[in-house]
Amino acid sequence: MDSEIFIPLIIFGFFAYVIKILSDNRVRNRLIEKGLVDEKVKFLYHDNFRLKNFTSLKWGMLLIALGAALFIGQLLPYDAHEELTIGLMFLFGGIAFLSYYFLAKKMLDKNPAAE
């Protein structure tokens, strides 16, 4: 993949994320102004920091797995280098997500108050 495509993708992603944050904030403020804040709305906008830690764990595990796949892919012979590297990335990414699922399930079962 050419490196010229990354800059527009990053810029587009940044602006899309900013627009999402601003629209969520606008909707939240309108709900508060109209007094429509009940338990359902509080649940939608409630930030559970413990679950955010699980999200950080998930992405950390995925990025470590992808980095390991890229490293191992660089050690492979050059004739099968690209195909095996991509396959290793998908394999290690899947293993990371499965590991995360079982680890998070175990941690939530141990402490159900995190939900």
Per the prediction, the chain carries an average pLDDT of: 80
Is the Cα torsion angle 43, 47, 49, 54 positive or negative in sign?
Answer: positive
* Tokens found for residue 3: 């490196």
Give residue limits of the domains in the chain: 1-46, 47-115
- The residue among 112, 103, 110, 109 whose CA lies nearest residue 55 is 103
What are the tens digits of pLDDT across the range 1-49? 567 777 888 899 899 989 988 998 888 788 777 776 666 666 666 655 5
* pTM for this predicted structure: 0.55
